[in-house]
Copies of this chain bind each other. A is one copy, B any other.
Amino acid sequence: MSHKTDIEIAREASKRPIQEIGAKLGIPSDDLLPYGHDKAKVSQAFIDGVQDRPNGKLILVTAINPTPAGEGKTTTTVGLGDGLNRIGKKAAICIREASLGPNFGMKGGAAGGGYAQVVPMEEMNLHFTGDFHAITSAHNLLAAMIDNHVYWGNEQDIDVRRIVWRRVIDMNDRALRQITASLGGVANGFPREAGFDITVASEVMAILCLARDLKDLQKRLGDMIVAYRRDRTPVYARDLKADGAMTVLLKDAMQPNLVQTLENNPAFVHGGPFANIAHGCNSVIATTTALKVADYVVTEAGFGADLGAEKFMNIKCRKAGLAPDAVVIVATCRALKANGGVGKADLNKENVEAVKKGCANLGRHIANVKSFGVPVVVGINHFVSDTDAEVQAVKDYVKAQGSEAILCKHWAKGSEGIEDLAKKVVQLAESGSSQFAPLYPDEMPLFEKIETIATRIYHADEVLADQKVRDQLHAWEEQGYGNLPICMAKTQYSFTTDPNRRGAPEHHSVPVREVRLSAGAGFVVVICGEIMTMPGLPRVPSAETIRLNDAGQIEGLF
């Protein structure tokens, strides 16, 4: 058992030149645009050239509801990719990019953990290949063009009180949440209330992750609603002629990034939309490209399966024409104990009864995922404190649900520790048993879609919403947005909207506070509770200790 930290392990990695990693997937050097020696973007020409190939198998990794104990969803995604390669499958991983700003608040940022990581870790948590900076630029160019349009005569008759397009910055900066802009006199425009979100909350990020290609990207950017006129009609980004320049700024950011695992297997790391006000998956272009060059593609979705897998299925797969061949639900004994009511201090003590109690949470996720028509296996991400009796309790429970739970030791052992899960995944995927279908049809009315998710996935009795919310949904239906899927924004800690209700609660209600239209991304955001789109820094931000040491290595970031 290793006692090394993630960053120590990552620094010891024997990275191979990225051209070698690309070669494993048949991507020629000329089609890899290198960023340093260990990162590259895949050229559009290559992507265009592989469109006629058949797809590999798509494996989704999701999890039970997150707890402070940690589940290790990314670690398992990375480990499973390595495990599949180990048993002779040509497998690639698809995960999200990290946001820069939050790293300067709390320590964080590994991509995986232990011996199941993606490298180079430092770069992936800093500027990486600049994708998020490009998104920030494109987003803020549009913002500047809106105020500039008003400044020079406001031909579109924009109601300055109804500009809905905020600005973004990839930084935790609470001072920018709400501002008054255009102060200082005539030369600076018309004073109005404005504000900044963090870049990952930008609709541009969601669009980049859902667009099929640059043409689709530009169309979606043009479709975004940025303001309303005095007559209440929407002003689109296209009306301000911003979509072309935004696309130019995003041209390189649209290309998927290729890096590698500690075991030198290919990993696509691309895009990173919020998992609450957006859909929380890596980019469609990375996933679809990976499916053309690999036999197996392992990807993950944000938060627990109630939010992440649901959106993966109902938004990403629906929009991109994807269908998962198998789903892995990650659980840990610790997290099941936490779901069973055990406090953080007692998580390392054996408590089989608490594990059994917590399994109710796992059980509902299994049933939910199966309801999409896809086969499920549970991966138990092993922690050193787990006892045999606890692990057996999980296995027994899952077996009773008609599925299988497999113990995985990839964190400590890399691919060797996850061979069994890899074999099971292959068996499920190659059985052809997947009969994937989204949960609801496009043509279902918006409010019914919300009810369908709430009752079938959350096991709620009802959805509560003001007439104002219902009227808004009806109005969008009349404007032609009724066929959009729903993007739920609720707490990730519970099936309910109350973060303290663990396990598998029944007989609860889902109150809808607000609905928002992401017309470019192509979904209706349903907000149930407080959603923070601009974090702040803590009292002692990690930025205070982040520095280069004498060897030129980064200290304090992890």
Contact = CB atoms under 8 A, between A and B. Distances in A.
A547 B140 CA distance: 17
B245 A536 contact: no
B147 A175 contact: yes
A170 interface: yes
A230 interface: no
A251 B182 CA distance: 34
A44 B409 CA distance: 39
A149 to B, nearest CB: 9
B127 A252 contact: yes
Interface residues on A, range: 35 or more
Given A33-B36, A137-B170, A178-B183, A244 B188 contact: no
A216 to B, nearest CB: 13
A179 B178 contact: no
Nearest to A144: B173
A182 B188 CA distance: 20
Contacts of A181: 175-176, 179
Interface stretch (A419-427, A437-445, A538-546): A538-546
Nearest to A194: B175
Interface string A423-451: 00000000000000000000000000000
A358 to B, nearest CB: 33
Interface string A300-340: 00000000000000000000000000000000000000000
A243 B44 CA distance: 39
Q: Which of A100, A130, A173, A177 counts the most chain B CB atoms within 10 A? A: A173
Interface in A186-234: 187-189, 193-195, 214, 218
A529 interface: no
Interface of A: 30, 33-37, 44, 100, 104, 126-127, 130, 133-134, 136-137, 140-141, 143-145, 147-148, 151-153, 167, 169-184, 187-189, 193-195, 214, 218, 240-245, 247-249, 251-252, 536-537, 539, 541, 543-548, 552, 554, 556-557
